[in-house]
Chain A
Amino acid sequence: MNILRGKVHKYNKDNIDTDVIIPGPYLKIHDHKELGKHAMEGLDPNFSQKISEGDFLLTGKNFGCGSSREHAPIALHQVGIRAILSPSFARIFYRNAVDGGYLLPIEIDSEVIEKISDKDELEINLDNNTIINSTSNEVFKIKPLPDIISKIVKAGGLLYFKI
């Protein structure tokens, strides 16, 4: 769990909101597989076909702003996304991603975005808080997960975290 390897999909856009991640009409759907088919439909209708199990997303700041719909991290998890790299996350999205055990939200410096290209292979290391870009052989620092988040992530979600 402390080292994740995968291919990154870059959407260098700020404020990618939950209406884009999973549009409103799908809110009535609670079948996770069905939600996955519509992940990021508002931005890239072919998104779900591009993603393989274990891939990452790289985005601009304030990812996941908007509504509290847990459908958003569920849909991204369902298509195979395991971590999202962004300079910042909207609070409810961040919380849902961690507490539901769906995704790892990784905060990076905004300059790092330019140094990672679409489809690069990355290795995220939570022990020493680095990302290795295996395609370009560059190493970047990531912001350590806050203590409580780290514990919930290690537990596998809020359900398994004894408070």
Chain B
Amino acid sequence: MGMTITEKILARASNKNMVSPDDVVIANIDKVMVHDVSGPGVIKVFSEWEKKGINLDHIWNPDRVWISEDHFVPASDRISANNITLLTNWTKKYNIKKHFKYGLGQYGICHTLSHEEGLVLPGEIYVGGDSHTNTTGAMGSLAVGLGHTDIAYVLMYGKIWFKVPETILFKINGNKPEYIMAKDIILKIIGDIGTDGANYKAMQFAGETVDRLSMEERLTLTNMSTEAGAKNGIIEPDETTFEYLKTRTDKKFSPVKGDFDASYSDTITYDIENLDPIIAKPFSPENICTVGDLEGRSIDKAYIGSCTGAKLEDLRMVAKILKGKHVKIRTEVLPAAQSIYFKAIKEGLVSIFLEAGAVVGPPTCGACCGAHMGVLAKDEICISTTNRNFPGRMGHVESQTYLASPIVVAAAAINGKITDPRNEML
């Protein structure tokens, strides 16, 4: 019996010839990330451990660690400003050189940096102090989100325990219509299997549609595997992956693919040729319907941001809809990283947004997690390219968030109400 890509990466990292679902392995870790929320959490764990006599003069390997400032930048208040200082002193202490600082060159949302900067390579195991670490699995890596204690442990020892997950294979076939984006596909899947449909499992995406998807679109699929509870989302690396990495890194890597006789706990097939644009209603990403079902529903604000919904191609699709039009509701665009922001300026996308009346803000997780930079009021209704819409996620517990693709959000922005994007693209 062969192994899936997830099983093969775990086997290699734990020096085993073969692993099977439910095996517990101790895996050596290739890359680690913490940000300005999990970083101070890890620092707190370190200080507790030091009180217990653990020697923390050095960490395992500072060159395999990178830091992003993304959740509370620009600093929203004195506490978040202090957290950034705390994190900066800590990375200096441990000689961690890759610290992407707000206002100092390239920076952005951690998951976006992981691919935009070529920080994680095919075949690697990457753990991050954030649940959407899953995103980076689109690069053919095993990318898993962990909490502060686990990350602190990895920083000390360079390894951690994993239970080998079963893999659900999602085979996505059919020609993708121009009004459909990866966001529609993943919302459809989450709606079908539920927010615990892949709990503890790997979600692997394959099929002719995935083969043809760009790297950035693939990243939307793996990003939201988190919303189905998955341990990891993963796509086998191919020419698209290698081409994407060519301009981003000169590091060597050894990609892994699954065996032809690998075993999957389930194989679920989609034909997306006739898929209607999908939207997730409050208060869960699984609460989906077609955009057409909600046609005409009034919206107060459109938010285009986050690791899943403000990559360069997302912004291009938004610009396509907004070009030459005016927004009817408040519309906020926050590119996912400084490099993407800069490219959007060079391509003229930012001018289109500004001419349409939208505001363009600095890269940050911002209001996606209800932190700052445009949080919602009581009863306020937002349509957003982000990935969660739990109660209070983007602000007041009685605010409402609809999740949709950048195309659908842009169509709502120019109409002030939920609109089937096919009406805007004819």
Contacts and interface: CB of A to CB of B under 8 A. Distances in A.
A90 interface: yes
18 contacts: A15-B195, A15-B284, A20-B391, A28-B80, A30-B40, A42-B391, A42-B392, A62-B196, A62-B199, A62-B229, A68-B131, A68-B145, A68-B147, A70-B41, A91-B199, A95-B146, A96-B150, A158-B149
Nearest to A101: B149
Interface string B130-164: 11010000000000011111100100010101010
Nearest to A159: B49
A71 B268 CA distance: 35
A88 interface: yes
B146 A100 contact: no
B38 interface: yes
Given A68-B147, A148-B161, A159-B149, 16 more contacts: A20-B390, A28-B79, A28-B83, A29-B79, A68-B131, A68-B133, A69-B147, A88-B199, A92-B147, A95-B150, A96-B148, A96-B150, A99-B153, A148-B163, A158-B149, A159-B54
Interface residues of B, number: 50
A51 B49 CA distance: 28
Contacts of A19: 369-370, 388, 390-393
Interface in B54-109: 54, 71-72, 76-77, 79-80, 83
B244 interface: no
Interface residues of A, number: 37
A144 interface: no
Scoring A20, A71, A96, A99 by chain B CB atoms within 10 A of each residue's CB, the highest score goes to A99
A100 B388 contact: no
Nearest to B367: A24
Contacts of B371: 24-25, 27-28
A77 interface: no
A80 interface: no
A67 interface: yes
B231 interface: yes
A61 to B, nearest CB: 7
Nearest to B198: A91
Scoring A24, A61, A163 by chain B CB atoms within 10 A of each residue's CB, the highest score goes to A24
Scoring A61, A67, A68 by chain B CB atoms within 10 A of each residue's CB, the highest score goes to A68
A135 B150 CA distance: 38
B343 interface: no
Nearest to A97: B147
A100 B148 contact: yes
A24 B401 CA distance: 15
Interface of A: 15, 17, 19-20, 23-25, 27-30, 42, 61-62, 65-71, 73, 88, 90-92, 95-96, 99-100, 146-148, 157-159, 163
Contacts of A92: 131, 145-147
B24 interface: yes
A105 to B, nearest CB: 13
B391 A99 contact: no
B44 interface: yes
Nearest to A87: B196
Nearest to B42: A70
B149 A100 contact: yes
B369 A27 contact: yes
A30 B24 contact: no
B200 interface: yes
A27 B149 contact: no
The 5 A-B pairs of least Cβ separation, nearest first, read A24-B370, A96-B147, A70-B147, A62-B196, A68-B131
Contacts of A15: 195-196, 284
Scoring A62, A67, A88 by chain B CB atoms within 10 A of each residue's CB, the highest score goes to A67
